Amino acid sequence: MKFFAPLLLIAVPVLAKTEQVAEDLSRCSNDVAPYTVNEPLLPDPFLFTKGGRARNEREWRCRRREISSLVTQLELGVKPEGNYNATLAVHVFDFGEKHDQSISFNAKIRYPTTGKAPYPAIIALGGTSLPELPGVATILFPNDEIAQQYGAKSRGIGKFYDLYGKDATAGAMMAWAWGVSRLIDALEDTPAAKIDLDRIGLTGCSRNGKGAFVAGAFDDRIVLTIPQEAGTGGGGCWRIADAIYSTGGNVQTASELVQENVWVGKVFENFTSAVTTLPFDHHSLAALMAPRGLFVIENDIDWLAPASTLGCMKAASKVWDAMWESDSFGYSMMGLHNHCSFPDSQKADLTAFVDKFLHRKRVDTSGMFFSSANSTAGFTFKEEDWIKWSVPEFRLVD
């Protein structure tokens, strides 16, 4: 007689990744009520509103939701959700409770002359100032049509506001973020567009770089965000910009930014003379992109507050470090060239990021923090002056 070794079956519920994420999020506390702090240094991005720090990816998902909710409520305004029907050219219908209107916009796609379909693509807010990216399609997102940015008087003007009303809380950047998401919906619904949905990047320069930073933070389908020379309002931190200004620096600050244009929500005016009361700064906003690809390109023009983007992004990079994904974050600073004119010296770094995320090549993007450091700039960031929190190592703690 033969004996069979009993097979011990242990039933372990296996959830697909998306189900796992949904399940994790259901355990998070609900939307946080906005609150203020008194924190002159860069706030701990891992610290929960109710205390305790995110120690692993599961907890980070909840903390990330808090950051996104706070940034929405205190700085950028609400990015609407709704039942959309989007096709290319993008027609957006919102069938939500209050809205039964629709808007449409055209997004032009320029296909590459090399490579094969489905193509990776880079969505360009208002155009691109990057050099040609071989094998990558460029999709032009007409951000000014969605929300105008012609000075303080343009608040509430554009197709986003035709749909959601002039009093929608979203500033222009959040309105663009909404439009970029609808564009991606349309790409999903239009296989004939021949775009690989798993290889979508996003860029923009200057004011549109600020927009790219925000749109990248609020749509997880974007695998690589490349904000170029955005300065304050993008990869710069409000607190550091104010500190530079207070010692005589010619930098864009929160107070200037809200007077100049309508990029942020009106609510942010409450904070421009008290940025140290914000429970986040733009390192936390950047962290919403982790561990996706983020390659921040900067210039050493005073107004862009290079010491602020350097410090702010150094702080942000620590969230990628916590995830053991440091190589997916890059910050490249190169001076002595005109605003938004991409210098050859940054090309190797850019190519590495594009190859890794849009061409899925095995390339080395390690050590990309401040990799193109420009010695003429002469600014530094003293970490100990701004960052008092430690970096948890997510993989090691359950």
| Interaction site with ligand MCU (CB under 6 A) | 206-207, 230-231, 252, 260, 304
In angstroms, give the least distance from the CB of 350 to ligand MCU.
19
For residues 185 and 298, which CB has a smaller minimum distance to ligand MCU in the complex? 298
Instruction: Please state, in angstroms and rounded to a whole number, the distance separating the CA atoms of residues 185 and 175.
Output: 15
- Residues involved in catalysis: 206, 339
* The 293-298 sheet, strands edge to edge: 108-110, 137-141, 119-125, 195-205, 224-228, 293-298, 329-333
Using CA atoms, how far residue 21 sits from 27, 53, 215, in Å, is 10, 19, 21
Instruction: Please state, in angstroms and rounded to a whole number, the distance separating the CA atoms of residues 197 and 222.
Output: 9
In angstroms, give the least distance from the CB of 54 to ligand MCU.
31
In angstroms, give the least distance from the CB of 230 to ligand MCU.
6
For residues 259 and 390, which CB has a smaller minimum distance to ligand MCU in the complex? 259
In angstroms, give the least distance from the CB of 304 to ligand MCU.
6
For residues 213 and 320, which CB has a smaller minimum distance to ligand MCU in the complex? 213
For residues 252 and 332, which CB has a smaller minimum distance to ligand MCU in the complex? 252
Using CA atoms, how far residue 345 sits from 153, 348, 349, in Å, is 39, 7, 8
For residues 231 and 279, which CB has a smaller minimum distance to ligand MCU in the complex? 231
For residues 206 and 225, which CB has a smaller minimum distance to ligand MCU in the complex? 206
In angstroms, give the least distance from the CB of 216 to ligand MCU.
16
The encoded tokens of residue 150 equal: 């012609």
In angstroms, give the least distance from the CB of 76 to ligand MCU.
16
For residues 206 and 284, which CB has a smaller minimum distance to ligand MCU in the complex? 206
In angstroms, give the least distance from the CB of 261 to ligand MCU.
7
CB atoms within 10 A of CB 159: 19
